[in-house]
């Protein structure tokens, strides 16, 4: 039997991040370092929505990286988050995905916790008939579930394990904050969840979210119906050392569509819809904004595609697998016809969406091929040049390069400076 070979050692040859070692997607050691440095480090991670836990005792479970966590609302209405792992012997305490509970009790030995994760009581603390029991110096307050700092903005709740993470709004940056303000100015209503499990590294999807280049090529439905086309007026805005990215497209008509796309195999000029209402949208923004894909490092997304509204969360499961959760919403005060338009546009997004179904397939064949060669080789990222500045167009891979620059800074990765060497 051939012993399993470790991934090729990563070599980052260029400070312009036009070359990315593919091993970063398949090396188990990198994955473990990410858990400590990114997910347990100075980042804000999506936990849930205030709208999901409106009442005292309400809770939802989630993951920060691979760590199971609970977001709950206490009797006083305040929200709390804690690691879902019993302080006694490590069992999962909360076993439902969501719900309402007066207390959280581990089924194994019935250690019982309040909404904040504080230990309320343990069985047989004083023993039974003089036998057993905990030592006199047992202090319940020393056995709370591990807590997370939490902050919420516009009803979206984030948590961090690090005391040194900057305040949430500062971490987000003004352009991310501005888009939260635009899209979450009205009370929201969660309409449902969609989940898909993808055999690929979580960063492949994060790259995909920042990749303006693939939108009209891989997703051929786009180029026909103009939900997103590379030649559209658009912008890429970057925050937090380029780790966050806001992609925006504007306008509806594009005169140049035919000439831009006729040489691309996925362009299908003959295809007409019998029921075009699935792609017809109503304007919601005075500046003509048609779509936003906001990716907040590490794994949170806020997206508006035409009139379809949703959050997404990428949950890394292992170096080779991630879960993608789509949390769709509409506005609580939506008119019924607008609500129906958003419902129909639900056919565009999610695991089976006309605009999105190809992503999983593309990432799975990328991951499989990278893994088969143990991560040898480099990705080539030079669309739109070699710079790092945000752009007023979409024919660019700048957000991918800035993502990797920010990633290396955070992970403490040494990058070689061969930028001016022979290409």
Please report, as ranges, the residues that interact with other proteins according to CB under 8 A: 97-98, 190-199, 218, 220-221, 224, 266, 268, 271, 273-275, 278, 323, 328, 343-344, 346-347, 350-352, 354, 357-361, 364
| Cβ-based neighbours of 382, under 8 Å, separated by 6 or more | 18, 397
Q: Decide: residue 51, CB within 10 A, 0-12 exposed, 13-18 middle, 19+ buried.
A: middle
What is the spatial distance between Cα 297 and Cα 112, in angstroms, rounded to a whole number?
34
Least distance in Å: CB of 413 to other proteins?
30
At its nearest, how many Å lie between other proteins and the CB of residue 97? 8
Place of tokens 């699935």: 278
167 by Cβ neighbours in 10 Å (0-12 / 13-18 / 19+) ranks as exposed
Work out how close the CB of 192 gets to other proteins at its nearest, in angstroms, rounded to a whole number. Answer: 1
Tokens of 26: 């398949």
Least separation, in Å, of the C-beta of 300 and other proteins? 19
Which residue lies nearer to other proteins by CB, 65 or 350? 350
Whole-angstrom distance, CA of residue 92 vs CA of residue 67: 11
Task: State whether the Cα torsion 247-253-259-265 is positive or negative.
Answer: positive
Closer residue to other proteins, CB minimum distance, 196 or 235: 196
How near is the Cβ of 361 to other proteins at its closest, in Å? 6
Which three-class secondary structure state does DSSP give residue 374? coil
If the CB atoms of residues 38 and 209 are measured against other proteins, the closer one turns out to be: 209
Least Å distance between CB 32 and other proteins?
25
Closer Cβ to other proteins, 242 or 346, answer by number = 346
CB closer to other proteins out of 169 and 369: 369
Query: For residue 383, what are its two tokens?
Result: 């669309």
In the bound state with other proteins, the residue whose beta carbon lies nearer, of 176 and 198, is: 198
Q: What minimum distance in Å lies between the beta carbon of 322 and other proteins?
A: 12
**CA pair distance 128, 59, nearest whole angstrom:** 34
**DSSP count for the chain of H helices, then E strands:** 10, 19
In the complex with other proteins, the residue whose CB is nearer, 357 or 411, is: 357
Question: Which residues, at least 6 apart from 74, have a Cβ–Cβ distance to it below 8 Å?
Answer: 56, 80, 114, 115, 116
| Distance in Å, CB of 187 to other proteins, minimum | 16
Closest approach, Cβ 36 to other proteins, in A, equals 27
Number of Cβ within a 10 Å radius of residue 79: 21
- Nearer residue to other proteins within complex by CB, 267 or 297: 267
Distance between CA atoms of residues 284 and 281, nearest Å: 9
* Residues sharing a CB contact under 8 Å with residue 327, sequence separation 6 or more, in sequence order: 49, 190, 193, 310, 311, 312, 313
Closest CA to 148 of 233, 65, 254: 65
Of residues 12 and 329, the one with the C-beta less far from other proteins: 329
């Amino acid at each position: 039997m051939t012993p399993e070979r470790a991934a090729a050692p990563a070599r980052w040859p260029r400070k312009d991040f036009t070359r990315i070692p593919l091993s970063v997607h398949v090396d188990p050691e990198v994955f473990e370092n990410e858990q400590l440095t990114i997910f347990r480090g100075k980042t804000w991670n999506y936990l849930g929505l205030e709208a999901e836990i409106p009442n005292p005792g309400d809770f939802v479970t989630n993951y920060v990286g691979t760590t199971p966590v609970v977001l709950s609302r206490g009797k006083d209405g305040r929200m709390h988050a804690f690691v879902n792992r019993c302080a006694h012997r490590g069992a999962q305490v909360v076993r439902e995905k969501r719900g309402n509970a007066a207390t959280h009790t581990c089924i194994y030995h019935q250690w019982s916790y309040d909404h904040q994760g504080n230990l309320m009581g343990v069985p047989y603390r004083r023993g039974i008939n003089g036998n057993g029991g905990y030592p006199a110096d047992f202090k319940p307050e020393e056995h709370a579930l591990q807590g997370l700092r939490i902050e919420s903005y516009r009803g979206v709740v984030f948590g961090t394990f690090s005391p040194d993470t900057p305040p949430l709004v500062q971490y987000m940056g003004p352009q991310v904050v501005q888009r939260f303000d635009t899209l979450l100015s009205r009370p929201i209503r969660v309409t449902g969840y969609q989940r898909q499990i993808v055999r690929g590294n979580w960063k492949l999807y994060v790259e995909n979210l920042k990749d303006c280049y693939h939108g009209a090529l891989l997703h051929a439905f786009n180029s026909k119906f103009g939900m997103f086309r590379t030649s559209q007026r658009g912008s890429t805005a970057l925050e937090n050392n380029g780790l966050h990215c806001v992609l925006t497209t504007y306008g509806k008509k594009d005169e140049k569509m035919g000439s831009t796309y006729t040489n691309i195999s996925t362009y299908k000029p003959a295809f007409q819809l019998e029921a075009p209402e699935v792609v017809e949208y109503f304007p919601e923004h005075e500046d003509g904004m048609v779509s936003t894909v906001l990716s907040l490092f590490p794994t949170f997304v806020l997206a508006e595609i035409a009139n379809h509204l949703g959050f997404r969360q990428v949950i890394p499961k292992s170096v080779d697998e991630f879960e993608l959760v789509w949390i769709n919403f509409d506005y609580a005060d939506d008119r019924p016809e607008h609500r129906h338009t958003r419902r129909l546009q639900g056919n565009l997004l999610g695991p089976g969406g006309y605009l999105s179904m190809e992503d999983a397939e593309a990432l799975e064949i990328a991951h499989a091929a990278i893994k088969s060669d143990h991560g040898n080789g480099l990705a080539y990222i030079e669309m739109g040049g070699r710079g790092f500045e945000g752009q007023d167009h979409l024919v660019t891979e700048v957000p991918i390069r800035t993502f990797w620059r920010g990633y290396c800074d955070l992970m403490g990765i040494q990058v070689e400076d061969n930028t001016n060497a022979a290409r």
